[in-house]
Structure 1
Amino acid sequence: CLKMGSFFKYGNGYPVDLARMADYYARGCRLGSGLGCNLLGSLYATGEGVPKSPVSAKENYEKACRYGYMAGCVNSGVLILQNPQGVTRDLAAARDHFQTACDKKEGSGCTYLGQLYLLGMGVPKEAGKALDYFSRGCALQFGSGCTKAGELQMSKAHKNPEAAARSFNKGCELKDPEACAYLGQLQEFGIAMKKDPSEAKRLYTWACDKKSGKGCRQLGLLHETAPKDNKNNYSEAANLYKIACKYEDAEGCSMLGMMYILGRGLPKDAALARRYFEKGCAGGSAAGCFNQAAAFLRGDGGPKDDGKMVEYLRKACQLGHGRGCLQIAKLYEKGGILKKDSNQAGLFFKKACELKEKSACAKASQK
């Protein structure tokens, strides 16, 4: 039944007929095929060959799970987290689906379970446990698990670039684009491995071609910072940042905004810059938030707004931008836009200092 369904999907000797494809997948599911139920669930999730129905998608994913097809358990858990119309967001149920899949050696289940522990969603927030599950996902040949493990191993909490390099290398071998982009960064700067800019560029290019926003952004940065004897460098960089932003890379959006502010590789457009700073900030880019604060301070591309400036400086600071914290500290120290408050100033000077903003450290020690 499943083979017949694929014939009607791809037209291998048959006319493409998505409704008949769905019918054959449904027959396979009724005959107890977990794969058939999972495929049918995916059709209901996207509306391909059947009316779009998240409820029916979940029902079929759960049938697949009961039949022992672990990808169905994972897909059901993901759908529950996404919370589309008709599907209740139940973190405990999602966790149970991921746990079932992980226990049955489905790497994606372990990786999603790790993400729940990393974020504290339906379980206690535990970075150590998250790393354990990411590492299990990686060991089970799920590339994204390797990438997630590497990200944690590179974080301030773990500071283990050698382990991260091994994780990213395995993830890249498993064809995970984000892992290859991270591996490229380590090779570009010689972190935990031999410095090799040409190999870094090759990895960035491959990752970008596979729709990694990070890969496109890092490739763009190579062009932007290259020797300026090639006038096409800026335009190529701007184009790559645009692609990175399209792939939901927050830093890429912020960098594209700066290209519009500076007129590098494209016409100056402060209003468009604001739009991209906003998108970057919303996606978690500290630089995007800081740049948006600067736009509200100067009135670039729109009205000046001191209240908005402070709001975006706070967001930047919360996301780890030292200069954002420093500017908030100065506003509290000076008074005016914010009510003068030496205690608050001291707290923000201290945070800025912790974030390597050296000019804040002397002030922090005085408060």
Structure 2
Amino acid sequence: MAKNAINCEGCHRLGDFLEAVKKDFHKASKIYKFNCDDYKYGKSCFKYGNYSFLGKGCKADLDRAFEYYSIGCENASPESCLHAGLMLTSTKKEEKKPWKKDYVKGLEFLDKGCQGKNGTSCYFASGIFITGAPDVPKNMEKAFEYSQKACELDNIHACANLSQMYRKGDGVKKDTSLAQKYKDKALEMQEQIKKGFRQIEFEQGT
């Protein structure tokens, strides 16, 4: 392993230690920023992007958050791609501050996150094509492709959408057997999630 790789991983672990154990978010944010600026370590770029977005350990700054998500995306952090894409495409009414939207560029980030095997990126990309957006026309064929990738990466919502697409013949040839297959997969995942919650509750009660 290259020396720089060892150094940047060690820096990131130090940041995680300061965050999780010492609860010193200010120092952790400095470590993540340094590790991103000097080593371009994607995971640290993502963490500092989060800190900047939330105002955790540093002053909240959406432009800075987007900058570090973008750097992280260029450096093997699919989670950074997801968050950069969401900043450009999210339409949630509860957003604390308004921010510029660019659905074409946002889709590029989401696609890169999807290619990096981030199922949530694939799911949100499919959602944009299902409804359409400014400068991005509705395209059920592309929506199907992204939904399929997201479901393969175990995104439960994408599996449910995939089932509906096969049932209605939206973006793909109608196939009731495949519609049932993906419905069953979504239901199975739902049960696993419920069991996981029960397990957590049991462990907390011991």
Query: Is the pair's TM-score, using the shorter chain for normalization, greater than 0.5?
Result: yes
Q: Deviations over 1:242-268 (max 9, x none)?
A: 221222322212211111114978631
Q: Residue 302 of structure 1: CA displacement?
A: 1.8
Q: What's the counterpart of residue 296 of structure 1? A: 129
**Match for residue 308 of structure 1 among 100, 125, 142:** 142
Distance change (3 Å), C-alpha of 1:255 and 1:343? closer
Equivalent in the alignment of 1:24: none
| Higher relative contact order, chain-length normalized (CA < 8 Å, sep 6+) | 2
Q: Is the 8 A contact 2:160 2:182 kept in 1?
A: no
Q: Secondary structure at the match of 1:275?
A: helix
AA paired with 2:89? I
Letter in 1 for 2:49: G
What is the alpha-carbon distance in structure 2 between the residues aligned to residue 309 and residue 206 of structure 1?
38
Query: Which position in structure 2 is the counterpart of 1:346?
Result: 184
Q: Which residue of 1 aligns with 2:70?
A: 242
Where does residue 184 of structure 1 map in the other structure?
15
Q: Give the Cα separation in 2 of the matches to 1:265 and 1:235.
A: 12
Equivalent AA in structure 1 for residue 189 of structure 2: K
- Of 26, 32, 36, the residue aligned with 1:198 is 26
SS at match of 1:311: helix
Per-residue CA deviations over 1:226-283 (Å, capped at 9, x if unaligned) read: 27xx6x6111101111221222322212211111114978631111111111111112
1:206 deviation in Å?
2.3
Question: d(CA) in 2 for partners of 1:196 and 1:327?
Answer: 42
Answer yes or no: is the 8 Å Cα contact 1:274–1:292 preserved in 2. Answer: yes
Contact 2:156 2:186 in 1 (8 A): no
Q: Secondary structure at the match of 2:61?
A: helix
1:121-177 per-position Cα deviation (integer Å, ceiling 9, x unaligned): xxxxxxxxxxxxxxxxxxxx9785xxxxxxxxxxxxxxxxxxxxxxxxxxxxx51x1
Q: CA deviation at 1:308?
A: 1.6
Alpha carbons 2:147, 2:158 under 8 Å: kept: yes
| TM alignment of 1:213-252, pairs within 5 A | 213-226=42-55, 233-252=61-80
- In structure 2, relative to structure 1, the CA distance for the partners of 1:242 and 1:314 (3 Å cut) is same
> 2:157 touches 2:186 (CA, 8 Å); kept in 1?
no
Residues 306, 233 of structure 1: CA spacing in aligned structure 2 closer, same or farther, 3 A cutoff? same
Compared CA separation, residues 143 and 239, structure 1 to 2 (3 A)? closer
- One-letter amino acid of the counterpart of residue 46, structure 2: R
Are 1:269 and 2:102 an aligned pair?
Answer: yes
Q: Structure 1 vs Structure 2: percent identity of aligned residues?
A: 26
Paired residues in the alignment total: 181
Aligned-residue CA RMSD (Å): 3.0
Choose from 100, 103, 112 the match for 1:279.
Answer: 112
TM-score, normalised by the number of residues in structure 1: 0.43
Contact (CA 8 Å) 2:132, 2:139: kept in 1 or not? yes
Contact 2:159 2:185 in 1 (8 A): no
CA pair 218-269 structure 1, distance change in 2 beyond 3 A: same
Return the letter of the residue paired with 1:213.
G
Measured after TM superposition, the shift of residue 221 of structure 1 is 0.8
Unaligned runs of 5+ in 2: 92-96, 196-206
Q: Confirm or deny: 8 A CA contact 1:323 1:357 kept in the other structure.
A: no
Structure 1 residue 215: Cα displacement: 0.7
Change (3 A) 1:182 1:284: farther
Equivalent residues of 2:129, 2:137 under 8 A apart: yes
Structure 1 match to 2:198? none
In 2, Cα distance between equivalents of 1:142 and 1:327: 45
Q: Deviations over 1:85-141 (max 9, x none)?
A: xxxxxxxxxxxxxxxxxxxxxxx4xxxxxxxxxxxxxxxxxxxxxxxxxxxxxxxx9
**Pairs within 5 Å for 1:29-40:** none
1:160 is aligned to none
